[in-house]
A and B are shown apart, each in its own frame.
Chain A
Amino acid sequence: QSALTQPPSASGSPGQSVTISCTGTSSDVGDYNSVSWYQQHPTKAPKLMIYDVSKRPSGVPDRFSGSKSGNTASLTVSGLQAEDEADYYCSSYGGSNNLVFGGGTKLTVL
């Protein structure tokens, strides 16, 4: 099972919006609505930000939103804040009881 494809980096100024893509195939992202997004600050454990493509767990700001079109899922962070600077990972159920992550995107708040 190959990793999902994410851009290595993304950036935006405070208050702006940034979108991170996550491209898979018709066997994972394209076939299932089990796409999740995680935020990871340096030396910390990941934190769930989005699940089931677009649902937010309790406590996650509504500045974070998710969507999917075909084989590509996206995470949009609106109203960028300094504390949003982190690594972001997508994941998807990949069929055959496998789960696959993306390679990660480093988000920089300029």
Chain B
Amino acid sequence: EVQLVESGGGLVQPGGSLRLSCAASGFTFSSYWMHWVRQAPGKGLVWVSRINFDGRSSTYADSVKGRVTISRDNAKNTLYLQMNSLRAEDTAVYYCARDLGYYDTQDAFDIWGQGTMVTVSS
């Protein structure tokens, strides 16, 4: 079964750090671009970041640029999101998602994880 499972969310104080993980299974992880998308409580979806299939290229939304780093370990079939200098407005469910494209990005997400909640509060 094709599956993505996020972990690492939790409660963190403003200014703190957190690393999210996304374990992939059921497909050739190293062949796909991957993304992080977040959703604040009661709000819409917001794209956060993408990384190419071999991890050598990544891009970020302006709202997180400089505070967030996306990475991947293809040997472990795992995607990561390191988040630093967290703010209250980063509070959201964070989803990892697989790009529909094979070795190339189509910026469409065909497989989603169940999400992990990040709460930034003192």
Pair B110/A45 contact, Cβ less than 8 Å: no
Does more than half of chain A's interface fall in helix, strand or loop, or is it mixed? strand
Residues in B69-122 with C-beta less than 8 Å from chain A: 95, 100, 106-110, 112-115
Q: A36-B107, A52-B106 are in contact. Are A47 and B44 (CB under 8 A)?
A: no
Chain A residues within 8 Å of B45, by CB: 38, 40, 46, 89, 91, 101, 104
Pair A45/B44 contact, Cβ less than 8 Å: no
Q: Which of these, A34, A36, A103, contacts B44 with CB under 8 Å?
A: A103
Q: Closest Cβ of chain A: how far from B59's Cβ, in Å?
A: 4
Alpha-carbon distance between A36 and B109 when the two chains are bound, in angstroms: 9
Residues in A28-84 with C-beta less than 8 Å from chain B: 34, 36, 38, 40, 45-48, 51-52, 57
A: number of interface residues (CB 8 Å): 24
Pair A51/B100 contact, Cβ less than 8 Å: yes
Q: A46-B112, A89-B44 are in contact. Are A57 and B100 (CB under 8 A)?
A: yes
Chain A residues within 8 Å of B11, by CB: none
Chain A residues within 8 Å of B50, by CB: 97, 99
Pair B109/A102 contact, Cβ less than 8 Å: no
A109 at the interface (CB under 8 A from B): no
Chain B residues within 8 Å of A101, by CB: 37, 44-47
Alpha-carbon distance between A47 and B109 when the two chains are bound, in angstroms: 8
Alpha-carbon distance between A3 and B62 when the two chains are bound, in angstroms: 13
Q: Closest Cβ of chain A: how far from B58's Cβ, in Å?
A: 9
Pair B114/A45 contact, Cβ less than 8 Å: yes
Pair B107/A91 contact, Cβ less than 8 Å: yes
Task: Provide a sorted-by-A list of 17 A–B residue pairs whose CB atoms are within 8 angstroms.
Answer: A34-B106, A34-B108, A36-B107, A38-B45, A45-B95, A46-B37, A46-B45, A48-B108, A51-B106, A51-B108, A52-B108, A89-B44, A91-B45, A91-B47, A93-B107, A101-B47, A104-B44
